Chain A
Amino acid sequence: MSSHYEAPIRRPLIDGDKSYHDISVDVAAPVEGKAIKLWWIAFSIALTAFLWGIGCIVYTIGTGIGVWGLNKTVGWAWDITNFVWWVGIGHAGTLISAVLLLFRQKWRMGINRSAEAMTIFSVIQAGLFPVIHMGRVWNAHFVLPLPNQFGTLWTNFNSPLLWDVFAISTYLSVSLVFWWTGLLPDFAMLRDRAIRPFQKKIYGLLSFGWTGRAKDWQRFEEVSLVLAGLATPLVLSVHTIVSFDFATSVIPGWHTTIFPPYFVAGAVFSGFAMVNTLLIIMRKVSNLEAYITEQHIELMNIVIMITGSIVGCAYITELFIAWYSGVEYEQYAFLNRATGPYWWAYLFMMSCNVFSPQFMWFKRLRTSITFSFIISIVVNIGMWFERFVIIVTSLHRDYLPSSWTMFSPTFVDIGIFIGTIGFFFVLFLLYARTFPVIAQAEVKSILKASGEKYKKLRDGNHE
């Protein structure tokens, strides 16, 4: 039992009197049981939003990008804001499962499955925008380096937008593989418990014939580690490359070397907030409070607080550098950002992203589930505004004052954004009903070390 030893000072990661079997039952319950009314309501709303979004996308593609609020000066607004926002949200999953795995952080086990699911679903949303924001979507394959009859007609490898294509697709595929690998033993568990043959067949297929032999487990561990190693640089690279879209340009407010770390911190920040949003609801609805404990929420709140502060530092640094550069265009860009016509967006960004996470210094607040939920929503609103501020306020007043103008979204801009939120929740809600939402195999591995019951037993022995 020595390997299971954990310092008594550490709080248990699994609350209550849980046995291995209890874990199986608890995790399988949402899958095996019937959907509650709340699920159906949420699903209907999400589906409606999704369909509305599809309608807006079809309208855009059928009529032209002109149905959005963009203009000659502001060529990107909600489209790329949403893209960066969703990619940012997609950061938490890989960070939790890969980076925390490498650092042997066991608390990740309760949340990694859902965090990764969230990653994949949000990257899907993110991936939509670079495609539909194209004026000629039907030629979207031009951005892929496909061999063609023109011989030398190739993509432009100088373009950060092309790097995006690679970064996002790599991230999505690695995340998906990583997620699925972790899912194998859990799908197998569901398969083994399934009574109905159809269910058994499906989970059998999904588990890729997992048998639970020692060899399976050994390979599972190895693959997880290798994938974690692969995914870790991706956590940094994806948002770095997304930030290059702006950082490599010549527009004041975009042309900033601080962007890569600043964007990565911001992404982790928003990703953790989204994980909190989702899990605080899910632990309640799916009765998983024993596995996603107050401590999990607290730890995530600490990450939010730290990344939020990093982001805050970045905001201040930007302002400082603008002043220090002595470049009037740069100075004006930031003056305009903070005090120009979009001052309210900047204020939203500052108060949501820099100010609100500071509450997490207080233990009472960061352990309050309701408060954490509110902050998680606030942070995501703030992070959306951050991207909007960066994109729109930099573009709308750049070098030549003659071209200065404003941006205002149309119902289509808003509709597509709401549509992606709907799509995301459609996927997530389906996931919550059909997937093992907790990595039960992993959780079981720490039951004896970090389970409340066993901890008590052990601590009692010592006394």
Chain B
Amino acid sequence: MASNKKYWKSVEELNENSAIVDTLKHNEFPEEIPMDMFLGDKKTLEASSTTRRDFLKYVGFTTAAVTLASCEGPVVKSIPYIIKPNDIIPGVAEYYATTIADGFDFANVLVKVREGRPIKIEPNKEANGATNARVQASVLSLYDSLRLKGPKANGAEISWNEADQQIIAKLNEVKAAGLPIAVLTGTSASPSTKKLIAKLNETFENVAHVEYDAVSESAALDAFELMYSTRALPDYNLEKAEVIVSIGADFLGNWQGGGFESRYSKGRIPTNGKMSRHIQFESNMSLSGANADKRIMVKPSEQNQTLIKLYQAVVNGVVPTEATPLNVAIQNAAAQLKTAGSKGVVLTGIQDKNAQILALAINKALNSEVLEVSTTKNIRKGNDADVAQLITDMNEGKIGAVIIYNSNPVYTLPNASAFVEGLKKVKLSVAFSMQDNETANAVQYTLATPHYLESWGDVEIKKGQYSLIQPTIKTLFNTRQFQDSLLAWTGSTATYYDFLKETWNVEILGGKSWNQALHDGVFTSDAAQSGAISLEVDVETAATELEAVKGSDLELELYVKIGLGDGQMANNPWLQEFPDPITRTSWDNYLTMSKADAVALGAVNNYVANGALNGSLVELTVNGVSEILPVFIQPGQAKGSLGLALGYGRKQGMKAEMQTGKNAYKFYKDFNNFQPNVTLKLAAGEHEFACVQLQNTLMGRGDIIKETTLETYNDTSIDPKHTWNKSPKVSLDHKEVEASSVDLWESFDRTVGHHFNLSIDLNTCTGCGACVIACHAENNVPVVGKDEIRRSRDMHWLRIDRYYSHEENFAGDNEVKDNGKGAMGFKKAMDALEDPSENPSVSFQPVMCQHCNHAPCETVCPVAATSHGRQGQNQMAYNRCVGTRYCANNCPYKVRRFNWFEYPNNSKFDYNMNDDLGKMVLNPDVVVRSRGVMEKCSMCIQMTQATILKAKEEGRPVNTNEFETACSNACSAGAMVFGDINKQEDTVKSLAEDKRAYHLLEFIGTKPNVVYHVKVRNIQEA
């Protein structure tokens, strides 16, 4: 309703005929405005400070200002918690214990979750969990943008209900036809999954469970079954070992599922004058061989003979007649094994049941304490014979349905085409897969499964040691677990979680708390352990059979890389960019070849103008299967042998950049990594490698990696400071003084507060590279791709340098250098030292920012973007950096990394930082660097500060050894120890003062906060 209120302005208005009111009504301005006077008065007008021009300026300015103010500011999309979940505090990380069990890697891990996003995998140390590079990187596979996002039937999307109905109908058809249903899985080691498959058998009858490992350990399993009646893998407690003889077993790599390095490393620290002696007979240069005290190059076929001779020498005391170098080495190994007795162990990687029997027999004869036969491991279960039989049956039409889970046989089988043909002959083929891979595209139904970080599950890694898998994030896509599907198909309405919990409560926990087990991630059963039953095996026959295995002039040994493993994580850019610890080459597999063989063939490795490595191409033919492969000349490769890594060459469900290398599984005939009868032909063209280390030798620079022998180390009569751990000297006022005592700068009191040091023991570092990936994940290090790696622009904050010796060992290199007298002699020595030996000694050295107390980078930055922290850290202020790269030039350790391009949100770098999903892995505590700034290791300042804050909040001092960095956390070998040297109890304090401790390039006077420990080698023969 409109208002008719009248507002009175004055009393005058009461009088209706008031003249005043009338006048005012018609005249807005009662007083005359002196317009003319003002405008007419030129003088006043000119005196006014606001001229016409000023007026226009003001108008202009205000218009512009108003226009600008009306512009929309940048919109940051963020969703506030209207109702905050109870357990999520923004900025505070949550940790969940879970387990990775992808069929290749099995480990108890902790998952760091920030605001509901899992961002990092850490070892669950309370559960003896150890992580390797792949486990560390597995979190990124969760955010793989090419994951299967829902169920499909013949390539078309379908709903879960429809899929279930159709599959159940078909399964019933198969059941009616009386045909078997094959469930083909990778090793799952899951008690409840096993139960579910049994349940499937109850429902549909005739269900056969075939377990299949892409990289087979069938021979070892069969041998152990023959000797100890259980089809499992024995465990080896290498901590107890005094003598380790390995014949082709890369136990620091992926042999029998790996995970031996932590106990191996414990035996490698010289304590009480003792450390283990490690002898390796092998053909490819493996991580284990690189760490060995003595490494003997032996072709794959000769490895068989070596093992037989070793057996004869140890068990029967037979001495080989001929005194060839190999025989002498075998004799020495045998003698040392005998001396060590129960502290000796023999491992072998020969994929032959007889070889595995021999190795077990030697250990049995030695009465080895290292071999643990009662606590067997379940992490490899694959049975080659079953798989071969399945393929035959499929092709003969004897199989009604194939259900594939946790396996990619179409890619990994050597006879994949036969398998694909077989798939066409079955009534129903179903693949449970996370990726749209080869197998997913070859079956009728592709059912999307969640990542292990989105799943429930359980694993019995070791007998009696149960682990739980729990989801750390809600499923990202329309996925369903294999186990849930089985439940649905068997008519159960329960979820897998219910099923799992019930199974555990009934069968495993024995009345203990489920919540506690879930919290811990592991549960060790008290149930009585049955001792292993030792059976009598005819070892002599095994030896005779093994001896009959024929070799050839050129033999191929297939191996598995530390980075890519069996290839299931090939779409993981962190792993693709991870430089192989031995070859330091990323984004590729290649044919490793000895120099002698390469020369004979005419194959070369050469460097192009920008330093990048190129290699000849050859055509490899084995059993009629051919492939063009690049040649990588590998020092330490046994003459007459070739190495080739499995796990590469995947094409489907992969980004174009990730489709690297060639599939070597097609050479993996009979699941044997040893393939004789190889022919090689030089092919046209060159291959471009992405190798991050182009100089392979140490050039006689023995002060970079200091080494000594156990004998010298044990000799208390010599002073390490003047012998094997020489401290550099400089001249001050014509007197020789220790370099570290001379200082250009005013000293600074570092005893107050925290002072961080990182200790790296070169004895225990195996070079596995778990720390490299951990650093990648923690610090949002960008992936730059193959081309940029070729331009020497890798971004790794932490790298593991690998050096080969030119002589037999590094001491020999130093001699060569010292003997190079005069200009020409020096030149000759240096030229010679550039080439590695045929069978070199190998050293690994992790190098990251050394956090020098007198940092050369800090003085040269014109804008003071890098400066020293109160706690010893050398810090980068990214916002301040203008990118002159002066700091990187002046860094003697070359650890600074420049952002040559904009790596995130750049389609040229289509890795995880280029899509929204991939970016979920980023650590919110660490800024993502923009183009044009320098970056480097921060000693995980975000972690140390978080530790300090946590202690402060809890009102306590920081606990002993509470400080950690991503690398020290990931190091299962215990080589990297981080801590506060102002805290007496911290381990790092004593390590920094150890007699083996030294600083890298100490003579420059940089005073680093990273301490290395002299590598001690146990070179004593017999």
Residues of A at the B interface (CB closer than 8 Å) are 63-66, 69-73, 75-76, 130, 133-137, 139-140, 142-143, 153-156, 158-162, 165, 245, 248-251, 323, 328-329, 331-332, 335-336, 339, 395-408
Contact = CB atoms under 8 A, between A and B. Distances in A.
B932 A135 contact: yes
Nearest to B699: A401
Most buried by B among A395, A404, A405, A406: A405
Contacts of B794: 72
Interface stretch (B57-65, B328-336, B822-830): B822-830
Most buried by B among A323, A402, A405: A402
Interface stretch (B341-349, B531-539, B659-667, B860-868): B860-868
Top-9 shortest CB links A-B: A135-B883, A135-B932, A66-B900, A406-B611, A75-B885, A71-B792, A402-B801, A408-B610, A403-B894
Given A133-B884, A134-B884, A160 B793 contact: no
B155 to A, nearest CB: 40
A332 B817 CA distance: 11
Interface string B896-925: 111111100000000000000000000000
B420 interface: no
B203 to A, nearest CB: 59
B932 A328 contact: no
Contact of B827 (A63, A339, A399): A339
Nearest to A396: B611
B882 A64 contact: no
Given A153-B864, A159-B859, A400-B1001, 18 more contacts: A69-B610, A71-B791, A72-B898, A134-B884, A135-B883, A135-B884, A135-B885, A140-B882, A142-B862, A142-B863, A142-B880, A155-B863, A161-B884, A250-B856, A399-B892, A402-B845, A405-B611, A406-B610
Most buried by B among A130, A250, A399: A250
B679 interface: no
A213 B1001 CA distance: 68
Given A251-B889, A335-B826, A73 B894 contact: yes
Contacts, number: 188
B698 interface: yes
Interface in B373-421: none
A137 B881 CA distance: 10
B845 to A, nearest CB: 8
Contacts of B864: 153-156, 159
11 contacts: A63-B901, A64-B899, A75-B898, A134-B882, A136-B931, A155-B862, A250-B890, A399-B704, A405-B694, A406-B610, A408-B610
Given A156-B862, A156-B863, A64 B901 contact: yes
B701 A328 contact: yes
Contacts of B802: 402
Contact of A249 (B792, B856, B932): B856
A65 B888 CA distance: 14
Contact of B901 (A66, A155, A165, A403): A66
A251 B885 contact: no
Contacts of B827: 335, 339
B874 to A, nearest CB: 14
A159 B859 CA distance: 6
B882 A143 contact: yes
B697 interface: yes
A402 B847 contact: yes
B960 interface: no
A250 B607 contact: no
Nearest to B790: A71
Contacts of A135: 881-885, 898-899, 931-934
A251 B892 contact: yes
B500 to A, nearest CB: 48
Contact of B885 (A76, A140, A159, A162): A76
Interface of B: 607-611, 693-695, 697-701, 704, 788, 791-794, 799, 801-803, 817, 823, 826-827, 830, 845, 847, 856, 859-864, 880-886, 888-890, 892-894, 896-902, 930-934, 1001, 1004, 1006
B856 A159 contact: no
Contacts of B881: 135-136
Contacts of A153: 864, 880
Nearest to A391: B889
Contact of B932 (A65, A71, A160): A65
Given A64-B902, A251-B892, A406-B607, A401 B793 contact: no
A284 to B, nearest CB: 40
A323 B823 contact: yes
Given A155-B864, A335-B826, A328 B884 contact: no
A324 to B, nearest CB: 12
Contacts of A398: 892, 894
B894 A72 contact: yes
B878 to A, nearest CB: 10
Most buried by B among A133, A161, A403, A408: A403
Contacts of A159: 859-862, 864, 886
Contact of A401 (B695, B888, B889): B695
Contacts of A400: 704, 801, 847, 892-894, 1001
A158 B863 CA distance: 10
Contacts of A405: 610-611, 694, 792
Contacts of B931: 64, 135-136
B693 A402 contact: yes
Contacts of B885: 65, 70, 75-76, 133, 135
Contacts of A397: 695
A339 B698 CA distance: 19
B695 A404 contact: yes
Contacts of B788: 66
Contacts of A154: 864
A87 B794 CA distance: 33
Contacts of A329: 701
A136 B889 contact: no
Contacts of A251: 889-890, 892
A162 B695 contact: no
Nearest to B933: A135
A251 B882 CA distance: 22
A154 B877 CA distance: 13
B695 A249 contact: no
Contacts of A63: 901
B674 to A, nearest CB: 33
A92 to B, nearest CB: 28
Contacts of A76: 885-886, 889
A71 B893 CA distance: 15
Contact of A136 (B817, B862, B932): B932
Nearest to B608: A408
Contacts of A142: 862-863, 880, 882
B701 A401 contact: yes
Contacts of A162: 862
Contacts of B830: 332, 335-336
Given A72-B794, A250-B856, A161 B694 contact: no
Nearest to B931: A64
B867 to A, nearest CB: 8
Contacts of B695: 397, 401-402, 404
Contacts of A248: 859-860
A340 B698 CA distance: 16
Contacts of A140: 882
Given A71-B793, A250-B1004, A408 B609 contact: yes
Contacts of B898: 65, 70, 72, 75, 135
A143 B863 contact: yes
Nearest to A136: B932
A358 B679 CA distance: 61
B704 A160 contact: no
B791 A65 contact: no
Contacts of B700: 328
Contacts of B886: 75-76, 159, 161, 245
A63 B608 CA distance: 25
